[in-house]
Structure 1
Amino acid sequence: MLTQKTKYALKALTVLADEQAQDGTALRIEEIAERSGAPKRFLEHILLDLKRAGLIGSRRGRNGGYELIKDPRRVSLAEVLRLIDGPLAPFPCLSRNAYQRCEDCKDEVSCSVRAVFGGFYTTYILMLESLTLSDLMREARPLERFGLPGLGGGE
């Protein structure tokens, strides 16, 4: 499950991407908070993380604020999720960036839990890596390109 922090980050990035597409002006944190529905004081920390990662920049002065500095088509959702929440793998032995051998596993090759979740995780990661901030901006259903219908509710 995604954290609320990640959800706010994605919404803030979408607001900045929309602004970039319209007229390219920088937005003050108050404007981003209002448009995204994220609390301002929570958003301050998120925007700093996004800035450190090189996704957004800031301008000082009267027309200052935050702006998206990366093309929305080049910002994968997986990149944002990893940045905000850390590794995406369900087990450390499946992680690309934070690999660790599981202490209770005698043999990764014959581990059925790793095999089953590894297959699921690979599919999940391939989809997340291919979905971008640009997909969040569209009204189309991005999962349809994978032959999947849009999801309603439930788990």
Structure 2
Amino acid sequence: MKLSQKTKYALRALQVLAREREPVRIATLAEREDIPRKFLEHILLELNNHGILSSRRGRGGGYQLRKQPEDVCLGDVVRLFDGPLAPTSCSSERAFRACDDCKDPDGCALRGVMREVRDATARILDNLSLADLNQRADAVARLTPGGR
């Protein structure tokens, strides 16, 4: 599985928003995280449309989490931008499609392995929240020279 740039930007933006109590303006977020502003606008709009963020216009406006950081699952964010977690179409639970060159998907040993990969990936990402991700980031920063 490879995360798209869009997903990486979304997760970085969400990490910042998870730490902030007040709305953050797009320009501030784009500059702080070095994310192209127009691209970030599309990402935040999609997160807003899926109930992860809320937005407020005007002075003091911007984007903020609609849910608590503990309630935003990384698996949901990855699926939102990158689709199913399955490494092959035949191993997907939600978007199954037999491989073009496979005569017997049910008897395919590789499909079984890819389902295990999918299940392990889902187990990890579905059990990690934004709060967990920020805790890990804090731990890494404490161990890194020049970190917090």
Tell me if both proteins adopt one fold, taking TM over 0.5 as the criterion: yes
Residue 107 of structure 1 is matched in structure 2 by 104
* Range that drifts further, 131-140 or 8-17: 131-140
Residue 37 of structure 2 is matched in structure 1 by 40
Three-state SS of the structure 2 residue aligned to 1:58 is strand
Residue 49 of structure 2 is matched in structure 1 by 52
Q: Is the 8 A contact 1:74 1:132 kept in 2?
A: yes
TM-score norm. by structure 1 comes to 0.82
- In the alignment, does 2:87 pair up with 1:90? yes
Gaps of 5+ in 1: 142-155
CA distance in 1, matches of 2:117, 2:82: 19
- Post-superposition Cα deviations, 1:38-90, rounded to whole Å, max 9, x if no partner, equal 12111011111111111001011211111111111111111111111122211
Q: Which amino acid aligns with 1:8?
A: Y
Q: Which amino acid aligns with 2:14?
A: L
Q: How many residues align?
A: 137
Q: Is the 8 A contact 1:26 1:66 kept in 2?
A: yes
Q: Is the 8 A contact 1:25 1:67 kept in 2?
A: yes
Residue 9 of structure 2 is matched in structure 1 by 8
Three-state SS of the structure 1 residue aligned to 2:55 is strand
CA distance in 2, matches of 1:140, 1:130: 18
The percentage of counterpart residues that share the same residue type is 50
CA distance in 2, matches of 1:14, 1:36: 10
Q: Which amino acid aligns with 1:65?
A: G
By how many angstroms is 1:122 displaced?
1.2
